[in-house]
Amino acid sequence: MPISGFPEWLPPQRMIEQRVLDRVRTTFELYGFAPLETRSVEPLDTLLSKGETSKEVYLLHRLQGGTDEEDQLGLHFDLTVPFARFVVENAGKLQFPFRRYQIQKVWRGERPQEGRYREFLQADIDVVNRDNLPFHYDTEMPLVIGDALGGLPIPRVRIQINNRKVCEGFYRGLGLSDTAQVLRVVDKLDKIGPDKVTEQLVATAGATRSQADACVELASISAEDASFADAVRKLGITDPLLDEGLDELVRVVEAAREHAPGLLVADLKIARGLDYYTGTVYETLLTGYERFGSICSGGRYDNLASSGNDRFPGVGISIGVSRMLGILFGRQALEVSRKVPTCVLVALPQEEQRAACDRTAAALRRRGIATEVAPAAAKFGKQIQYADRRGIPYVWFPGEPDTVKDIRSGEQVEADATTWQPPAADLHPAVTGA
């Protein structure tokens, strides 16, 4: 019986997912990020201290457990919080700045819907340093993601970027003290619209109507170049934190325009709901699928990890792999060229010849060609049909000499299992956009 929010992909979908992960992993490593996997559980007080997550955390305890220590563990809802804990615990063993990638399941007890799950896979990169983290890492994050996702047969991605300092400095300049609440309300702009955001700012953040209108006006500013900074300054609000945030945001936008034109847009309504972000924030949309929201997000956190007098600021970004693929699977927007990894089916003339057929398959496998032997001896026509149903492109016929047949074209040639090679395009299942 299916359980809502816990996806189980069919093998063709799982093969697509693995190809996506291969691309993401390879790209992360090309940029020098090292692999890491952390435990699935964290102390509950750690999880609850990082934002509005109390309704999302899954508790972990034994069926016959007591109500003490084990009841205080929860499954992690993202990979940033456990990574911060890992850095603090292992700081003496790490070389800083520490660059890591992490591809792992996370759990959130939210209402399942298309592209949103309770158990899902994330692929994160972060850079953490001791005491201070140079700002140029903020400019690197979107470029890595643009490279990783740009090499996949998916719709074009568009990374929206903002800076919390811009928002908080602007709100301070307006005279609003509860900047965290203003951010939380403005973060709902796409979901509830400007009128309701204005109402909630007045009701929950102590804003006057004119202050709320100014917050909404700031959130409406968007540009692909540094012109957004002029638009903000024209609103007439001044604050040192606002100036600092604008300067940082300009640096990220200009770096992206140089290295990846069209990838990035400054969008001042982006806030991110988690409380640990302190500067740059990112959200990523799939072209044509904008209504589903962000499939990749993150930002700068200067205060997430600390131990005594040591502070470990960082910046990171996370691809919601299950979210992105779930949306695309739901629209049949991705296809794989065959249902199995198998490239060659070795036909079995008679059961007595299975050992010889196994030796042929082994010779092909030694050279990296995915091969299986037919499950039973049957007429060759039936064995070809078996291969065709599974999308296996080649059938190998034992004989004197052996031959191999491309069952798509009908071409059949003599072949030696120690030398024959399929075209590169057939060696592995190919993933394409539908």
- Which residues are part of a known binding site for L-histidine? 78-80, 108, 122, 126, 272, 276-277
Is residue 18 classed exposed, middle or buried when 0-12, 13-18 and 19+ CB atoms within 10 A define those classes? middle
- Residues contacting residue 352 through CB under 8 Å, at least 6 positions apart: none
Name the pairing type of β-strands 334-336 and 431-433: antiparallel
Q: Residue 219, Cβ neighbours under 10 Å: how many? A: 22
CA atoms of 164 and 180, how far apart (whole Å): 10
Amino acid at 163: N
First to last CA, the chain: 30
E strand map for 153-230: 157-163, 222-223
- Measured at the CA of 100, the angle between CA 17 and CA 152, to 5 degrees, comes to 30
Amino acid at 421: Q
Q: Count CA within 13 A, CB hemisphere, residue 38.
A: 25
CB 85 within 8 A of CB 42: yes
Known binding residues:
78-80, 108, 122, 126, 272, 276-277
Three-state SS at 408: coil
Residue 419 to residues 345, 366, 368, 415, 416: CA-CA distances in angstroms?
17, 11, 12, 8, 6
CA atoms of 209 and 89, how far apart (whole Å): 47
CA atoms of 21 and 30, how far apart (whole Å): 14
Phi/psi of residue 354, nearest 5 degrees = -60, -40
Three-state SS at 150: helix
Residue 332 token pair? 């049949």
DSSP 65-101: --SSGGGGEEE-SSSHHHHHHHHHHHGGGPPSSEEEE
Identify the helix (H) or strand (E) that includes residue 102: strand 98-107
